[in-house]
Structure 1
Amino acid sequence: MFGRAVLGVAGSPRVRSLVTGSSLSRPVVRRFVAGEDVRSALGAVRALDAHGVRATLDVLGEDVVRPEQADATAAAYRELVDALAGAGLARGNEVSVKLSALGQGLGPDGPARATERAHALAEHAHARGVDVTLDMEDHTRVDATLEALRVLRADFPRTGGVLQSMLRRTPGDAADLARPGSRVRLVKGAYAEPADVAHPAKRDVDLAYVRCLRTLLDGGAYPMVATHDLRLVRVAEELLTARAAGGAPAGEFQMLHGIRTEELRRLAAAGHVARTYVPFGTDWYAYFSRRLAERPANLAFFARSLVTA
């Protein structure tokens, strides 16, 4: 209920204008967004590397209404991949991309064209030693996104996918993706979804999370445990430690830029693969809104910052 209420308010054009136009909001945004350009993103990657933490980078931009915008986003990702390789930061790091940003929603042929752009990006990234993960969005896009994942994995098996434990369908999707080498980021979900497709109670979301994690591990997949819930982190830490074989990690931990930084460093220091989701770009509002909606603490932090600025 909290998340839906925040996202409902954030969707107001007036609220969007107030937040994006206020100089007071920028210092707060910087907690969750690494910057507006590739140079800022590389700086964040270097800072993470100093603590043994890897990165997955997201070029922010979801409101694509023309094919030219989707082409520009694809070009921005290729530039990012080239910058990572040129800076010697390709190894161990990856990029994450939303198919909506590649034009998935642009008419009847949108999903196919977005998949083509994603495939070209994966080919470009693979040649430079950078992995690609397809981000998941709201429930109306799950089928198209999983189909795009299937297409990309035919040529680039390391392409990562994302599942959201809040969706009632996800245990079935986890079973489908539970195979050796399958890289799957498991999240709770940050979209306002109707109760007929998503669990409204946190307890049910958490139970589904653990169930899906076990399913992925049992099938030999490589789960990317993306949560800031410390109870789930402890459960996952036990499961991944028990499944690690011959020193090879059974999975990894991921957290968002600016959230539980010390915990992620602790996991890295303990020998786990740890990764930060690093978003950057000028079109940050939708991403920022979801971060506020995820946890009351994030919204409280935002409010305090505005009052004390």
Structure 2
Amino acid sequence: MLRQALLAASRSVGARRIVNTAPFGRDVVRRFIAGETIDDARRVTEELTAEGLLVSLDVLGEDVQGARQAARTTAQYVELLEGLGAAGLGTRAEVSLKLTAVGQPVDDALALENARLVCSAARSASTTVTVDLEGFSTVRSTLLTVQELRRDFPETGAVVQSYLRRAEEVCAELAFEGSRVRLCKGAYAAPESVAFTDRAEVDKSFVRCMKVLMAGKGYPMLATHDPRLIDIAGALAVLNGRDADTFEYQMLYGIRPQEQLRLAGQGSQVRVYVAYGAEWYAYFMRRLAERPSNLGFLLRSVATRA
């Protein structure tokens, strides 16, 4: 119930206004969001990579309303990537791209064209792009776009959400040599006919998907903060004879930072998902929905500022 309420709030103009104007709002958001500018993103990237971590940067600007807005977001990605390349950060930081930010709501062909521009800029910066998976209604379109991108940019990463009932099947299709696949639980609302709604079932699906990816020939990117799932991932790496550089853990910026450093200190590849930009509200609320215990942090902040 709480998760559904938070997802509903992510679409509420009134709730957004409250978070934007509340005295505590921006202080809380800074725990999860790097800032609003490219300079903010670069600063956080430099801090994290100096600690031995990898980074995936997300320019927040989903659900564009037209081709011009999609072009602006695309240009922001290109500018970000040019900066990463110039700073020599391309080997440590990639970008995560939401197709809804570069034209998918307008036209799939437009999103593909803009995504190609981002992938080309990433290659010039010696880095890669992972195409995020979003709401269940866009899954097929997004995976088809990734397939097209991989014709020219085979290093492009795909995403699978374990809360979707077909997740294990999709993982099997993507677990081939050279295929980069991020596995996450998923933070979007979906009907029970296509998605697991029970948390335990989502976790079980995550484990089944990990087994497929870790036994495959691709490069798994395991996005979870759950200690149990992290332990299982480590065991699967041993079982399948995987070296530390053949897969990675991924965690959100601001969530379990000490665990990120602990894993990296053990020699694991750990990538931190860092979002930035003015359009941070929907992302922030979905992060709370994905891990409702984060709501306690917000409530404690309200109490101390009141």
Matched residue, 2:271: 275
Secondary structure of the structure 2 residue equivalent to 1:32 = coil
Match runs of 1:141-220 below 5 Å? 141-220=138-217
Pick aligned residue for 1:251 from 247, 251, 272? 247
Matched residue, 1:44: 44
For 1:63 and 1:21, the matched residues in 2 are separated by 23
For 1:130 and 1:179, the matched residues in 2 are separated by 20
TM-score by length of 1: 0.96
**Contact 1:3-1:192 at 8 Å conserved across structures:** no
Secondary structure of the structure 1 residue equivalent to 2:30 = helix
Q: Deviations over 1:280-305 (max 9, x none)?
A: 01110010010111222211111111
How far off is 1:219 after superposition? Answer: 2.2
**Contact 1:59-1:77 at 8 Å conserved across structures:** yes
For 2:9 and 2:30, the matched residues in 1 are separated by 21
TM-score by length of 2: 0.97
For 1:111 and 1:35, the matched residues in 2 are separated by 29
How far off is 1:242 after superposition? Answer: 3.9
Matched residue, 1:30: 30
Identical-residue share of aligned pairs (%)? 46
How far off is 1:250 after superposition? Answer: 2.6
Matched residue, 1:62: 62
For 2:104 and 2:94, the matched residues in 1 are separated by 21
For 1:244 and 1:50, the matched residues in 2 are separated by 29
**Contact 1:224-1:253 at 8 Å conserved across structures:** yes
Alpha-carbon RMSD: 1.2
Q: Deviations over 1:77-124 (max 9, x none)?
A: 000001111111111310001000001011xxx111101110121012
For 1:63 and 1:157, the matched residues in 2 are separated by 26
Number of equivalenced pairs: 305
**Contact 1:240-1:250 at 8 Å conserved across structures:** no
Matched residue, 1:298: 294
**Contact 1:10-1:16 at 8 Å conserved across structures:** yes
Matched residue, 1:21: 21
**Contact 1:241-1:250 at 8 Å conserved across structures:** no
Amino acid at match of 2:270: A
| 1:308 is the counterpart of 2:304 | yes
